[in-house]
Structure 1
């Protein structure tokens, strides 16, 4: 069972992330509008592939990779927001979030089970019930994704966005566009880090906002890295630190909440209060650790 905050979020296929800019003849500068499809199409294909895999594969990995692909799509559409119709862009990003949430409902149980198993918090006694609930969540995820017709939804979203960009009168050089969008994302991350550093320790939302902003910036650097004018090695090092520490915190907080919300379903299957106590202690420890990182950055 893997998850980005437990072992780092890896690209499902390293060879599929080659960008349009890499394929341009020397000296030629593609426009952002012309390059869009070469970024988006592989992500759409990958999301469709994993959505299909979820129908047959009950393992955590297929769900994880589907959610990663959808998050990357959402970040790409955010990057191209200035070049797309605002209303349509908002709807398409909401679609990716909806599908990722559908996959995430089962993934959340996977993370809870893994954390309890790794830290001896009563998972063995609760295992039958936890697996039963997880199976129910998987059935719901599969039904939601099947009813949504992921393949056609994503193909239509890609076609609509590509058509709009290809018919736009104005063209922006890809490298200029990439520099601008990465800069906006960096400012957003720094703003959220500053806000979180001043927030009360109990204000988890501000920490969660840092994690989301960091994840989006990392995706943009992965998309546009070859065409950016400046080196972002220092930023990538920062993002790696945030991903590790804030991702682990998110796992703990989300799992504690999930366990607390399902106490009734797990009644009689083990010492739930002991598990909740462990999560409370671990949450406080991880919050201190995340706050400590912000003070150093």
Structure 2
């Protein structure tokens, strides 16, 4: 996999999209093309590289694409935009199935919770999930799908009669994302500790806003360092909570796979995950109160 150009791919082709492409419509391809190329590269790499890192990078690149298509939603045909975002979600979920096993194995291996004897069976399950992920991504023909999505959206935007200044457009979409995050944070603050969905929605909204700021920061007026710092705090704190919640659910849904691993081991792992979930939920709630 090519790595030399990785940092450059995280920003639009032009270092100053406002100068190179004065309208949002014209700037779209400079944001989307590098992300599409990156996702295709990672999808190809997953065929040869079974490491957790490769799958994680593929999933992140697809999430970034989904956020970009959300950002340009007001300028794109609604039905097609919804289908494209659903496609990115589907492909990310395909990569995520294997990634979820990686997280569960990592938690049970490193946290000293007395459930390490289960790991060999979990690794077997991970091998099966990887085979399914690879098959799904291969059958989907990621390269063709993503290039077709880029071509279709670019054509629609380039032939649009109206034009909106990129800075004005970016400011509006970032503001909409900020309102969404604040609304979800307010709901989560008033939610019961058992209501994980409210916390999960904060994490998703924060991640979307962070991606939009990474896309548009060069053309936005004013600094966003403080906002990005807060978003990184949310992503880290709520991400560790999500890891435990997803791992607990995965283990409960696959109890039958652990036959022979020892009932005590399974019960001990679930008990530890349950306690860890409560601890991390308190930590996430504490961060919300500070922000």
CA distance in 2: counterparts of 1:282 and 1:236, whole angstroms: 27
Structure 2 residue corresponding to 1:161, chosen from 142, 148, 153:
153
Greater displacement, 253-262 / 116-125: 116-125
Structure 2 partner of 1:14 = 7
Does structure 2 conserve the Cα–Cα contact (< 8 Å) formed by 1:73 and 1:96? yes
Change (3 A) 1:121 1:164: same
Structure 1 residue corresponding to 2:270, chosen from 267, 273, 276:
276
Give the superposition deviation at 1:43: 0.4
Structure 1 partner of 2:50 = 58
CA distance in 1: counterparts of 2:175 and 2:255, whole angstroms: 44
CA distance in 2: counterparts of 1:25 and 1:211, whole angstroms: 30
- 1:96-107 aligned at under 5 Å gives the runs 96-107=88-99
Q: Does 1:30 align with 2:22?
A: yes
Does structure 2 conserve the Cα–Cα contact (< 8 Å) formed by 1:21 and 1:30? no
Change (3 A) 1:122 1:263: farther
Q: Does 1:39 align with 2:1?
A: no
Structure 1 partner of 2:193 = 201
CA distance in 2: counterparts of 1:264 and 1:25, whole angstroms: 56
- Give the TM-score normalised by structure 2: 0.95
Give the superposition deviation at 1:32: 0.6
Does structure 2 conserve the Cα–Cα contact (< 8 Å) formed by 1:125 and 1:269? yes
Structure 2 residue corresponding to 1:222, chosen from 203, 207, 214:
214
Give the superposition deviation at 1:267: 2.1
Give the superposition deviation at 1:231: 1.5
Give the superposition deviation at 1:121: 2.8
Aligned-pair Cα RMSD in Å: 1.4
- Give the TM-score normalised by structure 1: 0.93
- 1:1-297 aligned at under 5 Å gives the runs 13-20=6-13, 22-23=15-16, 30-270=22-262, 271-297=265-291
Does structure 2 conserve the Cα–Cα contact (< 8 Å) formed by 1:32 and 1:171? yes
- How many residues align? The count is 285
Change (3 A) 1:275 1:257: same
Does structure 2 conserve the Cα–Cα contact (< 8 Å) formed by 1:67 and 1:100? yes
Does structure 1 conserve the Cα–Cα contact (< 8 Å) formed by 2:16 and 2:219? no
Give the superposition deviation at 1:114: 0.5
Stretches of structure 1 that go unaligned for 5 or more consecutive residues are: 1-11
- Helix, strand or coil for the counterpart of 2:15? helix
CA distance in 1: counterparts of 2:48 and 2:13, whole angstroms: 33
CA distance in 2: counterparts of 1:55 and 1:29, whole angstroms: 36
CA distance in 1: counterparts of 2:162 and 2:18, whole angstroms: 22
Give the superposition deviation at 1:18: 3.1
Give a deviation string over 1:243-286, Cα, whole Å, max 9, x none.
11101000010001101111111122141000100000000011
CA distance in 2: counterparts of 1:103 and 1:17, whole angstroms: 20
Give a deviation string over 1:181-200, Cα, whole Å, max 9, x none.
00000000000000000011
Give the superposition deviation at 1:25: 8.6
Change (3 A) 1:40 1:24: closer
CA distance in 2: counterparts of 1:25 and 1:163, whole angstroms: 20
Give the superposition deviation at 1:23: 4.2
Give the superposition deviation at 1:241: 1.1
